[in-house]
A and B are shown apart, each in its own frame.
Chain A
Amino acid sequence: MKELVVISGKGGTGKTSIVAAFAALAASKVMADCDVDAADLHLVLDPHIRQCETFTGGSVARIKIDICERCDVCRNLCRFDAIDRNFKVDEIACEGCGVCHDVCPCGAVELVTKTAGEWYISDTRQGVMVHAKLGIAEENSGKLVSLVRSQARRIAEENDLELVIIDGSPGIGCPVIASMTGVDLVLAVTEPTLSGIHDLERVAGLGKHFGSRMVVCVNKWDINPEMTERIVNWCSSEGIAVVGKVSFDSIVTKAQIAGVSVIEYSSGNAAMEIKRMWLCIAREMELKNIA
């Protein structure tokens, strides 16, 4: 079993559209949507939820007002300014560190475990998908990402499936790190803009930091061919292979509106380019079941 993660640094470069296309192209796979705070893959794969579980993240402090003697010890020691003058805890500011609980002389503080989201195992027309919904304003997205990934791996192993395709999140922080550590291949999707290049360099730095093998896709390459060339040159100087250049094509949005992948929607340019990229990745990962 192997894992492929699609990330981008910059948001909106086309990660999810590409993952949805790979889902239609790969033969033996499980999908894992690890962009848990703004998950979109389900909009294309139309999952039928088979199993739904709650995700408990960290905890928050609650102060029992009838026991509290208003001594201010907790307020003085809380580093997150999460306790107000009336000894009410701001649950969004509270990090669940428990300092207030530990120092309260009258035992007025309890730590309550928070339900921080849900995760699902679903059937889709392209196979099984594991996905999640992090509660609004919640922490611990990295933990939920790890959970989604491990469930997808388990399902792949139990069903003798060859590949887990992971849809990652933008940025370089905790959910991205949790989605990419230890995978077999990272596909970084970028676009030919100065922002795209800037963010690609950071994401490539992250890949290096964690010793991940990385390849690059330049999406909407023809928006600025000069910039695309710059990316290709930069990648070659860094020893990173560019496995695909995908044209700017309005069918990508049309497919999204129709709720299907580009591959299912059209056999135009962008679809063909993604197909070629997929074959290149399958070779790179030495997959046996290439659709």
Chain B
Amino acid sequence: MNEGTIIAIASGKGGTGKTTVAVNMAAALSRASISVRLMDCDVEEPNAHIFLQPIMTSREGAFVSVPVVDEEKCDGCGRCGEACRFSAIVALGAKAITFPALCHSCGGCIMACPKKAITESSREIGLIEKGTSQGIEFIHGYLKIGEAMSPPLIRAVKKQAAYDGVTIIDAPPGTSCPVIQAIRGSDYVILVTEPTPFGLHDLDLAVETVRQLGIPCGVVVNRVGMGDARTHDYCAVNDIPIIGEIRDDRRIAEAYSRGELIIDALPHLQEEFLGIMTRAKTGMRKKERKGELL
């Protein structure tokens, strides 16, 4: 691991403005001549490219390993099925059959097979595209429609970078495995919320998630003015810094709807996003990343 800074943008609730913060912060940094990379890890519904319109320079498939049974060698003993905790391979009758969509690529069945009848092949689960936009290095993943498991693709996206300079990760909503995969290894998590009961409830879940991973976090309250004061009270009581506020403004909603950067629609926000970055850096722990990045 080298000297870079990794900031993940997350939220429990969807639609609070993660992507808005991610793309505008990336653009604001880039315009201030800071080297920045944006990684869209919301692989189920990636949206960052809509706002940055990157020119893509590469596009490749992302694959996971799945078992292949050599029917000549398989005698249907069923050891593979006993070893697999995910019901992704079972011996039915005389031969083992596989259910690739359930496979976690652990390799257990291969080790369990006494006839060495199982090998691995790869199955495409999505795409990874790389490009540049306004001096920003851009990477995103696209989960294939119908695929249930996004974490392996998120892991593959995160393997694409060198992690020098500033890396901004746009995470998916929620609190379960895809979010964990996206934010682990980050130096800081920015939680974007809105001041409503749903926003606050899910912010609380997101704070718990981030704390469980031991990553410092700060909150950006989006659409300030639309709701009530409970979110601010919550942050004060729980000692969570509010590192940014974006007012509820129809011009922002309209610019967003057209796929425009809000720092173009309201240029004074350029400073606000640089400020969010500065405050995030202040809250960051010193360089001793816990655990693995990927």
Contact residues in B for A191 (Cβ distance below 8 Å): 257
Partner of B146, one of A9, A102, A210, A227: A210
Task: Classify chain A's interface size.
Answer: 35 or more
Is the beta-carbon distance between B106 and A194 smaller than 8 angstroms?
A: no
Partner of A38, one of B112, B173, B213, B254: B173
- Does A223 interact with chain B (Cβ within 8 Å)? yes
User: A227 touches which one: B180, B208, B209, B257 (CB < 8 A)?
Assistant: B257
Which residues of chain A from 139 to 173 have any CB-CB distance to chain B below 8 Å in the complex?
139, 141-142, 169-173
Count B interface residues, CB 8 Å.
59
Q: Please count the residue pairs between chain A and chain B whose beta carbons lie under 8 angstroms apart in the complex.
A: 184
Q: Which residues of A contact B173 (CB under 8 A)?
A: 11, 38, 170-171
Q: 1/0 contact trace for B247-275 toward A, CB 8 Å?
A: 00010011011110000000000000000
- Contact between A99 and B104, CB atoms less than 8 A apart: no
A137-B212, A194-B257 known; A173 vs B148 contact (CB < 8 Å): yes
Given A38-B175, A223-B254, also A58-B44 (CB < 8 A):
no
Contact A137 B209 (CB under 8 A): yes
Partner of A172, one of B112, B145, B213: B145
Q: Is the CB of A79 within 8 A of B107?
A: yes
Contacts of A205 in B (CB 8 A): 145
Q: Which residues of B contact A256 (CB under 8 A)?
A: 196-198, 227
Q: Is B176 an interface residue (CB 8 A)?
A: yes
B residues lining the A interface (CB < 8 Å): 12-16, 19, 44-45, 47, 50, 83, 85-86, 104-108, 111-112, 143, 145-150, 172-178, 180, 184, 196-198, 201-202, 205, 208-209, 212-213, 226-228, 250, 253-254, 256-259, 291-292, 294
30 of the cross-chain contacts (CB-CB < 8 Å) are A13-B15, A38-B174, A38-B202, A40-B202, A77-B107, A92-B213, A98-B83, A99-B106, A99-B108, A103-B111, A134-B175, A169-B174, A170-B173, A171-B150, A171-B174, A172-B45, A173-B143, A173-B150, A174-B148, A193-B256, A194-B50, A194-B257, A195-B256, A223-B253, A223-B254, A224-B258, A227-B258, A253-B226, A257-B196, A259-B197
